[in-house]
A and B are shown apart, each in its own frame.
Chain A
Amino acid sequence: MNLAIRDVRHNFARFILTVLGLGMLLMIVMGMGGIYRGLIEDATLLVDRIDADFWVVQRDTRGPFAEVSRVPLLLEDRLRSVEGVAGARAFVSHTIQREHRGLPLRVGVQGLSWPEDKGAWLPIVQGRPLAHPHYEMVADELLGLGLGEKVALGKDTYTVVGLTRAMVGQGGDGLAFFTVSDALAIQNDTPGEAIRLEREARRVRADENGIASTNPGLLEMADAPAASIPAVAPSQASAILVSLEPGADPQEVANVLNGWTDISVHTTAGQRDLLLTGSVDKARRQIGLFTAILVTISAIIMALILYTLTLDKVHDIAMLKLMGARNTMILGLIVQQAVMMGALGYGIAYYIGIWLFPRFPRRVIVVESDLVLLAVIVLFISVLSSILGIAKAMSIQPNEVLS
């Protein structure tokens, strides 16, 4: 005769409420794990998706994610000339927050090296990659933009030609892909008045140095765009992505590039490590600690519940002992209820979780290995937390029937 099930049936409402509460708690534990996974996934998504062998960044920086890196676009051509390099494209990335349809729109702007890279590698679920060098964008679904929608950024208007799924940046913002020149235009958008003021300033400087009097042609150039003036720094990228020819020795290429004193080279794996040990690390440990605390709290609460349930049954357990019931029978009653509670709580956590987590603003990724780990932990704390109740049950004397 199974006592655990009969006892549960008898106190069904209380049991269900307890299990619900425990389930919610376990769901939070599960969610914490999912947030942790999501954080890592979001952070490393670009690095993993962008098919590059090397990330070439500004000398001695750990950019472009962990810190700011600036390299000239010209570096692309220098890199292409290195033996073993199949391709080089600029990586332009920055986050903007603008207003669109009256609502704030946060976009991770990514530049694609037109025409080598049109974004064919993107997980496009609707529409197409870029087809024109200007005024087109591929946006992530998360941004809430529709196909064909026009978005004004800076002085220009861009049309959404494709939609991707789950392309988010380190901060959880949806990404949008433009050509490098469009991305830079969005980043370096300067108001007309600022440009007029800058040009006036150039004219004044030229006058002061006497350049204008010896070389009046220069004054005309001062009115030209910055990019066309010699000795003024051209627009810059965050990094240049290098892909190698099949069969090329990565170490050899890296050796060559490391000889260049204006840049540093990171492999894709290295870049991933930089992300995880750098900016994501603290958040990761924070969530890890929080999860550990939650697991502990769950165990304590469960122990208390089981202890109270045992206290409620002191008289019955004394009667069972008087009837000559073996300790295993009484132990079974408690442990079985603990495991039932844990298992049902876990089930509730799982089903609420898979319904609730996709509704979170940032990604919560529940992977199978985490589910298995949590199941093991729940089983462990179920058994562990029954110890208190078992100790109480074992100390009950049959003569307590009389009290």
Chain B
Amino acid sequence: MTRSVPAIEVQDLRKVYGSGNTEVVALDGATFALAQGEIAALLGPSGAGKSTLLTAIGLINPPTSGRVFIGGRLVFEGSRAAVNVRTFRRQFIGYVFQKANLIPFLTARENVQLCLEINGASPRKARQRAMELFEYLGIAERASNLPHMLSGGQQQRVAVARALANRPQLILADEPTAALDSFRGRQVMELFRQVAREQGAGVLVVTHDHRSLDVFDRSFEMIDGKLAEATPTAAAPTEAPAFP
């Protein structure tokens, strides 16, 4: 992939859940592009369609209509996938969700290692890479613990390491820092930014954390399935009304 093509390009994306009375339009003609090496925030109220957009781009949840390109390649034409979804996901996309979703019977290191081995890395290389990431994320000493022995924040950092392990072209994160304290939360966001810069990856992060907004190159706001670009500074932290 060359720098000239966008990491993500989304054209007039629509997603309708259900039909008739229960119909919900989760995405209503979303269009945007994200350059390689760029990190963007996706903001918006609950139920706006942020996760729906992320999973459509992430080849997890096909849209109803519209087109999705990743690295210049058409991946969704309407609900039809234009690539081998599994291989594509494995090679090009890293995911982080609100929950860590670690495999409970594998140690922290094995969770990351497995992701690398699935992608063809030798066990030795995979182990090395996993430890590298753990060092950086400050969880190296927990590498051989099972997930249930880790705190929520530690688990989430393992999940981040797993998403970054294969050096993906695209990182999709859905409220990744919800379980972290502000220091670790910020650290993860900065790591994403660094990965965007160094690997030329596109990074799209759904977040409610307005304190980290300065990390992002751009931010998008989604309301009722419609997407609009916002200037980072414009999205000032909204103070909650005082408790009566």
Contact = CB atoms under 8 A, between A and B. Distances in A.
A319 B162 CA distance: 12
A13 to B, nearest CB: 13
B118 A6 contact: no
A323 B115 contact: yes
Given A3-B114, A10-B146, A323-B90, 16 more contacts: A1-B106, A1-B110, A1-B113, A1-B123, A10-B104, A316-B103, A316-B105, A319-B101, A323-B162, A324-B90, A324-B118, A324-B119, A326-B86, A399-B55, A399-B61, A402-B60
Contacts of B103: 3, 316, 319-320
Contact of B105 (A11, A322, A323, A402): A11
Interface string B94-121: 0101000101111000100111011100
Interface residues of B, number: 26
Name B's interface SS: helix
B86 A6 contact: no
Nearest to B91: A324
A325 B151 CA distance: 27
Interface in B101-148: 101, 103-106, 110, 113-115, 117-119, 123, 146
Given A322-B60, A322-B89, A401 B101 contact: yes
A323 B114 contact: yes
B87 interface: yes
Contacts of B90: 323-324
B123 to A, nearest CB: 7
A16 to B, nearest CB: 15
B154 interface: no
A362 interface: no
A10 B105 contact: yes
Interface in A310-325: 315-316, 319-325
A3 B243 CA distance: 50
Interface in A117-170: none
The 10 closest A-B pairs by CB, nearest first: A324-B90, A10-B105, A7-B105, A399-B60, A6-B105, A316-B103, A319-B101, A323-B115, A324-B89, A399-B61
Contacts of B106: 1, 3, 6
A323 B51 contact: no
B196 to A, nearest CB: 21
A315 B101 contact: yes
